[in-house]
Structures are given as C-alpha cells and as structure tokens.
Amino acid sequence: MTQISERRAQTREKLVDAATEVFAERGILAASVEEICERAGFTRGAFYSNFASKDDLVIALVQRVKATHFDDTTEMIGRLVEEDPEVDFDRLADRVAELLLRLQPPTRTDALMQAEIELYAARSPRFAQQHRVLLDGLLRSVAELMRKAVLSVDFVWVIEETEAAELFFGLHTYIASELLLTGSFDRAKLVRILKPLLQSLLLPRHPQED
C-alpha cells in the first residue's frame, strides 16, 4: 500500500472536511470542485493531485464515515458485552438503543451529508456500485462483531449475522431520518421495539433440557 506524506494526508482531510460542508449545503450533484477547493483554501491543482474526480472524493468521504462507524461500533459492542455478561433483555434493549442513538451523525451537517450520499448513489449507477462494495464490507465486519458478541454470552442469532446486521442498519437509518426531520427520537419507544425484536432474534446457544 502506497504511503502518503503527512502534509498530503492533511490536505486530503481538509478537502474531505470542506466537501462534507458543501455537500450538505448544496447537494453532491450541485457542488462543484471549485466550491470545495475555495472552502478548503486550496487550488484545483491541489484537489486533482489528491483526487482523480469528485466521485473519488466522495468515496474517500464514505470510507472515512464507515471507518468511524466501525470503530465506534466495535467499542460500544465490546463495552455492552463487558458490562452485561448475563443476558437480560430489558437491559440489553436499553443498551442497544443507546448504541443506535450514539452512532447517529454527530451534527446536522454530517446527517445531511450522509443523506446526500444515499441520494447520490441512487442517481449515479457508477458510484452506487462502489458505495455498495464499501457498505457490504462494513456489514460483514459488523456482522462478525455481532456473532462474537452473542457467542460470548452463550447466545446465537436465529438468522444469518449479515441479515441481522442489515436489520439493525435499517433501524439506524430510520432513526437518522427521524432525527434529521424532527430533531428528536423517542428512546423509550425504541427500547419497546428492541426488546421483542432481540428476544425473537436470539436463542441460547445451549438450551436447557426439560
């Protein structure tokens, strides 16, 4: 893997930061390379020495978001299992609700940018393929975390772990949409939804015989 200099890495980060703001304000299709460069304080030459195209920049942005999500998910799932070695579905539902809420975009700008990425994927078949590859990789990684987490407390998923991961990703996306549109989400309602959902998806690894 090619190493890049610290200075170039900082330039790339500033361009991605600027793109996050511009995409949230203008939308990815409407945003221009010139606007992103102006926001970051760089020339077009600096942009094209780091990214082949605007699509290339969007991919870098997605990679950063997914990496952050995976790191946060890893930490939170590990903490959840450590703090709750015995499965109690009331506590588990509360902890999973906390995880889903804490994994939401930290600012409205981030939330708008992530919504724009989904819209851009729907409108750009070429980008959609690249985005799907990144998302599938994240799903597989999170599914493996989920498999290990429930095994550590002697439970198993009743469906494939990747399908369970997709289910929780869908719930995460729904929460993100509600937060973006209304600015709030009913945590108590989320816990009420999660408890029967988790009870239906998890079974003891070694069920006791009658």
List, for residues 131-167, the tens digit of each pLDDT value.
999 899 989 999 998 998 888 888 999 999 999 999 9
Residue 209 lies in a domain: no
What is the rounded distance in angstroms from the CA atom of residue 176 to the CA atom of residue 77? Answer: 19
In degrees rounded to 5, what are phi and psi of residue 195? -60, -55
Q: For residue 111, what are its two tokens?
A: 């939330």
37 with 108, same domain? no
What is the rounded distance in angstroms from the CA atom of residue 49 to the CA atom of residue 42? Answer: 11
Residue 4 lies in a domain: yes
- The answer for 105, left when phi > 0, alpha when psi is -120 to 50, beta otherwise, is beta
What is the rounded distance in angstroms from the CA atom of residue 113 to the CA atom of residue 119? Answer: 10
Residue 161 · residue 167 · CB < 8 Å = no
Q: For residue 93, what are its two tokens?
A: 């539902």
Domain boundary among 51, 69, 86: 51
67 with 38, same domain? no
pTM of the model: 0.82
73 with 162, same domain? yes
97 with 165, same domain? yes
pLDDT, tens digit, 9 for 90 and up, residues 45-59: 999 999 999 999 999
24 with 58, same domain? no
110 with 97, same domain? yes
Give the total number of structural domains in the chain.
2
| Domain containing residue 8 | 1-51
61 with 32, same domain? no
- The answer for 125, left when phi > 0, alpha when psi is -120 to 50, beta otherwise, is alpha
What is the rounded distance in angstroms from the CA atom of residue 16 to the CA atom of residue 86? Answer: 42
